[in-house]
Amino acid sequence: MTLTMKRVLFVLLVCVWIPAVKGFSQPGSGARFGKITPEDFNTVSSSSSLQDGAIIIADIGSTQIEGNSKGNFSLEFKNYRRAQVLNKNGYDIGNVSISIFTDGNADEELISLKAVTYNLENGKVVETKLETKSAVYTDRINKNWVIEKFTFPNVKEGSILEYQYTLKSDHIFNLRPWQFQGEYPRLWSEYKVGIPEFLYYVTLSQGYLPFFIKDQKSRAAAFTVSDNQGVGGSERINLSASVTEYRWAMRDVPALKEESFTSTIGNHMAQIEFQLAEQRYPMNPKNIMGNWTQACASLLEKENFGLTLDNDSPWLEEAVNDITAGTRNELDRAKKIFAYLRDHVTCTENNRTNMDQSLKLVWKNKRGNEAEINLLLIAMLRKAGVGYADPVLLSKRSHGYVYSSYPLLDRFNYVIARLDVGGHTYYLDASTPRLGFGRLDYECYNGHARIVNADATAIELAPDSLLEKSITTVFLLPDGNGNFAGNMQWMPGYYESYRLRSLVSESGKEAMTNEMKRGFENPSVAIRNLHVDSLEHFADPLYIRYNFEIPQDKQDIIYLNPMFGVRMKENPFKAAARSYPVEMPYTIDETYILQLAIPEGYVTDELPKEVMLKLNEDDDGMFEYRIQESGGTISLRSRLRIRRTYFQPEEYQMLREFFNLVVKQHNEQIVFKKKN
Which pLDDT value is given to residue 30? 78
Cis peptide before 19 (omega within 30 of 0): no
Q: How far is CA 339 from the centre of its chain?
A: 28
pLDDT tens for each residue of 474-526: 999 988 777 899 999 999 999 999 999 999 999 999 999 999 999 888 888 99
pLDDT at 141: 84
User: Quick one: 373 and 438 in the same domain?
Assistant: yes
pLDDT bracket for residue 229 (50, 70, 90): low
Residue 430 has pLDDT above 80, yes or no: yes
Identify which has the larger pLDDT, 490 or 20: 490
Residues 379 and 433 in one domain: yes
- Statement to judge: residues 85 and 213 lie in one domain: yes
Domain count, the chain: 3
- The pLDDT of residue 479: 82
Whether residue 24 is predicted with pLDDT greater than 50 in this model: the reply is no
* pLDDT surpassing 90 at residue 31: no
Statement: residue 566 has pLDDT above 50: yes
pTM (two decimals): 0.89
Residue 17 has pLDDT above 60, yes or no: no
| Strand-pair category, 54-67 with 602-606 | unpaired
Percent of the chain with pLDDT over 90: 82
Give the CATH number for residue 363: 3.10.620.30
Q: What is the mean pLDDT of residues 449-471?
A: 98
Residue 662 has pLDDT above 60, yes or no: yes
Say what the pLDDT of residue 3 is. Answer: 39
- What was the pLDDT predicted at 105? 74
Contact by Cβ (8 Å): 161, 83 = yes
Coil, helix or strand for 291?
coil
Helices 494-507/509-518 angle, 10° precision? 120
412 and 360 in a single domain? The answer is yes
Residue 440 to residue 437: CA distance in whole angstroms: 9
Mind listing the pLDDT tens digit for each residue in 335-388? 999 999 999 999 999 989 999 999 999 999 999 999 999 999 999 999 999 999
What are 276's strand-pairing partners? 201
Q: Which of 57, 60, 150, 63 minimizes the C-alpha distance to 98?
A: 150
Residue 169 contacts residue 77 (beta carbons within 8 Å): yes
Considering the domain architecture, whether residues 303 and 336 belong to the same structural domain is answered as yes
670 and 527 co-located in one domain: yes
Instruction: Identify whether residues 224 and 315 lie together within a single domain.
Output: no
Burial class (CB in 10 A: 0-12, 13-18, 19+), 137: exposed
The answer on pLDDT for 13 being more than 50 is no
What does pLDDT average to over the chain?
Answer: 91
Nearest CA to 80 out of 148, 124, 17, 31 is that of 31
166 with 305, same domain: the answer is no
Q: Which uninterrupted H or E stretch holds 534?
A: none
Domain stop point among 255, 287, 319: 287
17-31, 280-294, 338-352: least confident range:
17-31
Same domain, 375 and 508: no
**What pLDDT is attached to residue 2?**
41
Where is pLDDT greater, at 229 or 578?
Answer: 578
What are the pLDDT digits (tens) for 514-565?
Answer: 999 998 888 889 999 999 999 999 999 999 999 999 988 778 899 999 999 8
Q: What is the mean pLDDT of residues 180-190?
A: 95
Tell me the residue range of the domain where 411 lies: 294-463
Model pLDDT, residue 676 = 79
Percent of the chain with pLDDT over 70: 94
The CATH number of the domain where 508 resides is what?
2.60.120.1130
